[in-house]
Amino acid sequence: MSDSEDESIDKQLKIVIIGDGASGKTSLTTRYAQEQFGKQYKQTVGIDFFLRRIVLPGNVNVALQVWDIGGQTLGGGMLDKYLYGAHGVLLVYDITNYSSFENLEDWLVVVRRVFENEGKMPHRALVGNKVDLEHMRTVKLDKHQKFAQENGMSSHFVSAKTGDSVNLCFQKIAAEILGITLTKPELEQHQRVVKADIINYQAKEQTSKQPPPQPKSSLCAIQ
């Protein structure tokens, strides 16, 4: 095999996404793999599988196998098999649903059990989803950070709905697994830019109807 052929071979990474139902796991995976967001909730039964190829610094070609595990599989007989061989595990919760955060401890117990005989744990990432609903947050930031630090997890916040930081999350996780350092420009490259309309309020005021005349005041203003 030539050097050029060897360099073109993809690195394969298995990424498993787990967490409670309705925490946004499927929305997260479809947003990342297909740039889509489904407005209606549809429960994942068993497992869904996605594949996306990315290029990391140094022209490293990576094939990400993203496994979306249904929330009802916790305690089921197949979860161990789904997790086996994973290079990275994303534990996803809904920042507006505190119980989805609390239950991550149960999911983490399963991860530890599966990999305790492997001699090496996969990369573990704590992912708080639905940051577009920040005003409804029930899981405080310090709770998130403490859980991540105590369990040796990387920390991420995303919005599957808007796409905010979704690509960045997977890019950082893949890079960390492979021991590749991302520079600041490379990190900024994967930050999603949210577009907003700019309203010319001055023009709007000029074209709007004039308010009714106000009654004269008997008070004097001293300049």
User: Residue 167 is part of a domain; what is its CATH number?
Assistant: 3.40.50.300
User: Is there a domain that residue 84 lies in?
Assistant: yes
Query: pLDDT tens digit string along 30-80?
Result: 999 987 655 544 555 468 889 999 999 999 999 999 999 987 778 777 899
pLDDT at 188 over 90: no
Angstrom distance (rounded) from CA 29 to CA 50: 7
User: Is there a domain that residue 221 lies in?
Assistant: no
Query: pLDDT tens digit string along 96-145?
Result: 999 999 999 999 999 999 999 777 899 999 999 999 999 999 999 999 99
User: Is there a domain that residue 18 lies in?
Assistant: yes
User: Is there a domain that residue 57 lies in?
Assistant: yes
pLDDT at residue number 213: 55
Residue 99: exposure state from Cβ atoms within 10 A (0-12, 13-18, ≥19): exposed
User: Is there a domain that residue 60 lies in?
Assistant: yes
Angstrom distance (rounded) from CA 206 to CA 199: 13
- Look at 184 and 100; give whichever has higher pLDDT: 100
Angstrom distance (rounded) from CA 222 to CA 188: 54
**Which contacts qualify for 108-111: CB closer than 8 Å, 24 or more apart?**
108/151, 110/74, 110/79, 110/80, 110/83, 111/18, 111/83
pLDDT at 173 over 90: yes
pLDDT at residue number 160: 95
User: Is there a domain that residue 98 lies in?
Assistant: yes
pLDDT at 214 over 60: no
Average pLDDT over all residues of the chain: 83
Tell me the residue range of the domain where 67 lies: 11-189
User: Is there a domain that residue 206 lies in?
Assistant: no
User: Is there a domain that residue 207 lies in?
Assistant: no
- Look at 5 and 160; give whichever has higher pLDDT: 160
Angstrom distance (rounded) from CA 13 to CA 16: 10
Helix axes 25-34, 166-177, angle to 10 degrees: 90
Q: What letter would DSSP give residue 128?
A: E
> What would the mean pLDDT of 142-170 be, rounded to a whole number?
97
**Domains in the chain: how many in total?**
1
Q: What letter would DSSP give residue 13?
A: E
